[in-house]
Amino acid sequence: MITHGNEIKLFSGNSNRSLAEAIAKKLNTELGEIEVGTFSDGEINVHIAETVRGRDVFIIQSTSSPVNDNLMELLIMIDAAKRASAGRITAVMPYFGYARQDRKARSRDPITAKLVANLLTNAGADRVLTMDLHADQIQGFFDIPVDNLLGGPTLYSYFAKQEIDVVGAPDVGAVKRSRKVAEKFGVPLAIIDKRRPKANVMEVMSIIGDVKGKRCLMIDDMVDTAGTLCQGAQAIKDAGATEVYAGCTHAILSGPALERLEKSAINKFVTLDTIYLPEEKRLDKFEVLTVADIFAAAIENVYLDKPMSKLYD
């Protein structure tokens, strides 16, 4: 618990204020006064309404949809704090947008994750706190410290009560993560072998592993349109699984995601609150777990210059 709040300042953008308020409450402090709005032409307008001179400033903002607006809010808030002589500025990004563009998949493609890293650094961020980056190598895109916190333990604690029999990897790219989950629960791993004929179209080919008569858990770092997850869940169900649970750190849920999840074979879908999910989007089968404790602990460690290693144990 932070008791000398006169030296620390927490600010929030508009992307996930409920999480920011929960983090501040865990730290026994309040969010700083800041105005984040727009001019009549849509340009973002930021005004910090209290002193930050020499203070340890933490700006909490997920770069989720609308991605570009939330990213610009974050950059401008960082710039405002820097120009107001903040002592140290940490960008707290529970969800790091543009993380999927981490390499050149085709000729003449951008590496936008690196561009965002450059923008954050050039704006004046001294450190970044995030969670479950889509690609671990993004940490190397920065010339400032990046703490990539783990959302898995929160999900594991929830699913430990569900008597999971097998963990399913929704695609080959998720095998490494799914294998760790399977080892955590001491259960076998099943892999959904699929073919993607074109973007956002997935065809399930076969399931490697035995799921018949078993409760299956599928874990991924993010769920966007939910096509891969829902088709994978149906394939597992068709192969004889009795129940299918799914969990993720970042519920992007764009396009047809909600409709797909509602009609899917998934019995329970669990996500963390790194991205704000309004009540009208929370289906009956949804469960939202908070990461306020983890980020509060990380912020306290950064503020007090304590090691972060315990958060990864």
HSE-CB at 259 with a 13 A cutoff on CA atoms is 3
Largest CA distance in the chain: 62
Burial of residue 284 (number of CB atoms within 10 Å: 0-12, 13-18, 19+): exposed
Rounded distance between C-alpha atoms, residue 52 and residue 56, angstroms: 8
Candidate list 26, 114, 194, 214, residue with the active-site label:
194
**Side chain identity at residue 134, one-letter code:** H
Query: Tokens standing for 195?
Result: 């073919």
Quick check: is 161 catalytic?
Answer: no
Q: How many CA atoms lie within 13 A of 164 on its CB side?
A: 31
- C-beta of residue 180 within 8 angstroms of C-beta of residue 158: no
Rounded-to-integer distance, Cα 274 and Cα 154, Å: 12
Retrieve residue 212's tokens: 């018949």
Chain centroid offset of residue 45 CA: 26
Terminal Cα-to-Cα distance of the chain (whole angstroms)? 20
Strand partners, 247: 219, 270
Q: Rounded to an integer, what distance in angstroms lies between the CA atom of residue 99 and that of residue 109?
A: 14
Q: How do beta strands 189-198 and 201-208 pair? A: antiparallel
Count other C-beta atoms under 10 Å from residue 214's C-beta.
22
As a whole number of angstroms, the distance between CA 233 and CA 256 comes to: 16
Are the C-beta atoms of 308 and 301 separated by less than 8 Å? yes
Residues annotated as catalytic (active site), given as ranges: 194
